[in-house]
């Protein structure tokens, strides 16, 4: 993002950071938690290095950090006893061995208006969930790691980012996504309060923390904006056209630090770019695009299966960050772009 377009909140952040350093309390996490200068564009490990290990496992997050990702992304859902855990959705039949271990727990629910049949995190205590092992979701990715890893808690992911960041002498950021926040609030298991409590416990409930909270829902982001100064990201898909108009983007800028659009929203049909990146940055929003995946089937046809060319095209459009299943590829390409 050009200097002239730096978000006012970001400038404030640098000042807050200096002040925080000057009078830092004797808290062990404080020095490593402060993003003095954040890398740009950001490399966000999507569900960990999920192109290489089963998604949302400590192994996937660890590999992502070893590969050089700036942020790791836990999607969050919650157990029956109120513990935040990392899963892409609350139905866990596709990403764990739950069907083998708890066959009788299979049920059907309506989640955000859609009927879903399977096994749901909110029907399990953490102790029960701990008996499960993760599986690779996609059949064309390696199945070699199935059965090895547990479902991690958010607390474990926070601790991992802290300890591996310290060991490497750099900040590893957290990019949690609240999944189905309205649904969970309706069933009496809201996500926002425990998320902020976890961040607070790690001294990360701050505007200058290396944390970005994301959601597809507007209501819970507005709610979060009233509860925390942690930076917020409004996720977008092509199904919300009014949100990407200049007026819509100005509305998002009232509560969010940035947007997280599907990459199809920044690539134009003609092979060039849409106006979205410039329009968003013009109102001070950062743009973090999802999702870069190295397998040719995920790469738009005009790049002939070459994910590096796809990433170079996204960088040429001026994006401020990329969610990547293969952070190693992003690190390799961005080494020359930063």
Binders in 126-185 for Ca ion, by CB under 5 A = 177
Cβ(162)–Cβ(32) below 8 Å: yes
Among residues 32 and 42, whose Cβ is nearest to ligand G3P?
42
Backbone angles phi, psi at 2, to 5 degrees: -60, 150
Q: What are the tokens at 82? A: 């109120």
Tell me which residue has its CB nearest to ligand G3P.
Answer: 290
Count other C-beta atoms under 10 Å from residue 261's C-beta.
Answer: 25
Minimum CB separation from ligand G3P for residue 290, in Å?
Answer: 4
Which residues sit at the interface with ligand G3P, rule CB under 6 A?
A: 46, 75, 88, 177, 214, 235, 260, 290-291, 323
Minimum distance of Ca ion from residue 92's CB (angstroms): 15
Q: Could you say which of Ca ion, ligand G3P, none residue 323 binds, taking C-beta under 5 to 8 angstroms by partner kind?
A: ligand G3P
Residue selected from 55, 75, 91, 198 as contacting Ca ion according to rule CB under 5 A: 75
Q: Do 176 and 46 contact (CB within 8 A), yes or no?
A: no
Q: Quote the least distance from Cβ 291 to Ca ion, whole Å.
A: 8
Q: List the interface residues with Ca ion, window 92-131 (CB under 5 A).
A: none
Strands 42-46 and 321-324: parallel
Q: Of the two residues 183 and 290, which places its CB atom closer to ligand G3P in the complex? A: 290
Measured CA angle at 262 (ends 260, 264), to 5 deg: 140
Cβ-proximal residue to Ca ion, closest one: 177
Decide whether 75 or 122 has the Cβ nearer to Ca ion: 75
Q: Does 70 bind Ca ion (CB under 5 A)?
A: no
What are the angstrom distances between the C-alpha of 182 and each of 20, 192, 213, 234, 258? Answer: 35, 10, 16, 15, 21
Nearer to ligand G3P, 34 or 41 (CB): 41
Distance CA 257, CA 234 (A): 8
């Amino acid at each position: 993002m050009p200097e002239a377009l730096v978000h006012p909140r970001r400038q404030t952040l640098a000042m807050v950071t200096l002040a925080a350093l000057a009078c830092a309390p004797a808290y062990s996490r404080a020095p490593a938690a402060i993003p003095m200068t954040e890398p740009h564009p950001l490399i966000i490990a999507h569900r960990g290095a999920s192109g290489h290990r089963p998604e949302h496992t400590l192994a996937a997050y660890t590999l992502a950090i070893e590969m050089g990702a700036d942020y790791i992304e836990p999607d969050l859902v919650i157990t029956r006893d109120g513990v935040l855990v990392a899963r892409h959705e609350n139905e866990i039949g596709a990403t764990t061995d739950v069907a083998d271990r708890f066959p009788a727990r299979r049920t059907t629910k309506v989640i955000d208006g859609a009927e879903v049949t399977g096994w749901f995190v909110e029907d399990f205590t953490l102790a029960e969930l701990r008996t499960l092992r993760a599986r690779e979701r996609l059949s064309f990715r390696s199945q070699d790691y199935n059965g090895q890893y547990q479902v991690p808690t958010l607390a474990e992911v926070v601790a991992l980012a802290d300890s591996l960041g310290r060991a490497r002498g750099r900040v590893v950021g957290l990019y949690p996504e609240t999944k189905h926040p309205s649904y969970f609030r309706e069933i009496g298991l809201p996500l926002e309060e425990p998320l902020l409590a976890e961040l607070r416990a790690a001294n990360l409930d701050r505007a200058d923390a290396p944390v970005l909270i994301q959601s597809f829902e507007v209501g819970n982001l507005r709610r979060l904006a009233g509860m925390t100064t942690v930076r917020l990201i409004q996720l977008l898909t092509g199904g919300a056209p009014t949100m990407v108009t200049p007026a819509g983007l100005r509305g998002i800028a009232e509560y969010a630090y940035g947007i997280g659009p599907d990459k199809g929203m920044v690539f134009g049909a003609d092979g060039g770019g849409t106006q979205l990146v410039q329009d968003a940055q013009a109102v001070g929003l950062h743009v973090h695009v999802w999702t870069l995946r190295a397998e040719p089937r995920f790469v738009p046809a005009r790049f002939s299966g070459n994910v590096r060319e796809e990433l170079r095209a996204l960088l040429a459009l001026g994006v401020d960050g990329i969610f990547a299943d293969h952070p190693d590829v992003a690190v390799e390409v961005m080494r020359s772009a930063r």
